[in-house]
Amino acid sequence: MISATPTGHAEPWWENAGIDGLVIHLRDQRALVPAEVAAMLLDEQGITSDAGADLLRLDSEMRDLDKRLAARVAADAAEVARCRREYSAVRKTCFGRKRRARDELDEANRVHGEASMVHAEVVELKAILRSFVVALAPREGLLAEAAAGWVRSSAVPAGVSVFEDVRNFLADTRREAAPDGLAGTIGGEDFGDLWRREGDDPVEQPLARTGCWLVGYIKRTREIYAVRRCDTRTREVWLLGRGFSAAHAHDLLTPLTARMQEPNSLILVANEVVGAAHEHNGGRA
């Protein structure tokens, strides 16, 4: 039996139980790691004395692979659509061209199908990993932080208005613009610029646990908003709530900044703002 034991009394830690599999120790728990996850950890990534960090690194790899494969599947689907259009455009009497177009369509469908299967396997593996961590019910540390965020959906919460980019948001001239500000042209008070959302988070440094959304408050319009500031994505804006006094916005948002590093922390703050607005007569906060 080989164990990757922690220094001091840090938790969680690994126990490699040989043919019985990989075991994680967390507080008084001893849980067998799902075989698929254990294989990734032992055969590809390797384990260290910090089991929590190992699991987060694996999740980061899965997120990156998920994102890249999703893009490939989308490109392959576009190629299938192109081949189908070309096949439909060829007259039935043009037997040679029709056969070649059919062959191209069949090949495009094959490539798309294989990519879709691989992508589905990665998505399933990521779900198995996250479900395992959530079931451990960690109370503190990296795994507790991750588990809290993984149970949240990354979808736009009900009650949030979405603007395609900053320009559309600033079409309402009552909103302040600050071209050199951290908000990217929105002149608002900054309540953190590292809020996280699945699909937008950088994956290069998984243990940094940082995102690319800024949450802010506009005093003139009494609005709380969020703007995406990723390098390669459009600067989408979410209007989270309106009718908030500066004091109320500060009291609501400041405590939440302590949870900014959790996965999907943007969804956390969005739900809190929407809930607060609802409690105050439909947003009259």
Last residue of a domain, one of 128, 150, 172: 150
Together in a domain, 132 and 191: no
Which has the closest alpha carbon to 154: 66, 239, 271, 71?
A: 271
Q: How many CB atoms lie within 10 A of CB 106?
A: 12
What integer pLDDT is reported at residue 187 of this predicted model? 84
What integer pLDDT is reported at residue 202 of this predicted model? 84
In the chain, how many domains are there? 2
Together in a domain, 266 and 210: yes
φ/ψ region of 192 (left if φ > 0, alpha if ψ in -120 to 50, else beta) reads: left
Together in a domain, 138 and 210: no
Tokens of 18: 């040989």
Together in a domain, 165 and 135: no
Kindly give, in sequence order, each residue whose CB lies less than 8 Å from that of residue 44, ignoring residues fewer than 6 positions away.
none
**What does the alpha-carbon distance between residue 214 and residue 188 come to, in Å, rounded to a whole number?**
10
Together in a domain, 132 and 196: no
Q: Is the pTM of this model over 0.85?
A: no
Tell me whether residue 284 is in a domain. Answer: no
Together in a domain, 6 and 142: yes
Together in a domain, 136 and 167: no
Together in a domain, 229 and 167: yes
Together in a domain, 139 and 186: no
**What does the alpha-carbon distance between residue 283 and residue 199 come to, in Å, rounded to a whole number?**
29
Cα distances (angstroms) measured from residue 136 to each of 99, 208, 220: 56, 22, 46
What integer pLDDT is reported at residue 10 of this predicted model? 53
Q: How many CB atoms lie within 10 A of CB 3?
A: 14
pLDDT under 50 in the chain at which residues?
Answer: 1-2, 6-9, 182-183, 283
Last residue of a domain, one of 121, 150, 179: 150
What integer pLDDT is reported at residue 7 of this predicted model? 47
Domain residues for 132?
Answer: 2-150
pLDDT in tens, 4-50: 554 444 579 999 887 778 999 998 889 999 999 999 999 877 899 89
Cis omega (within 30 of 0) for bond into 255 = no
Together in a domain, 132 and 183: no
Tell me whether residue 207 is in a domain. Answer: yes
Tell me whether residue 73 is in a domain. Answer: yes
pLDDT in tens, 258-270: 999 999 999 999 9
Together in a domain, 214 and 136: no
H or E element in which residue 25 lies: strand 22-26
What integer pLDDT is reported at residue 203 of this predicted model? 75
Together in a domain, 272 and 170: yes
Q: What are phi and psi of 238, to 5 degrees?
A: -110, 125
Tell me whether residue 285 is in a domain. Answer: no
Tell me whether residue 155 is in a domain. Answer: no
Q: What are phi and psi of 165, to 5 degrees?
A: -155, 175
Last residue of a domain, one of 86, 119, 150: 150
CB 213 within 8 A of CB 228: yes
What integer pLDDT is reported at residue 2 of this predicted model? 44
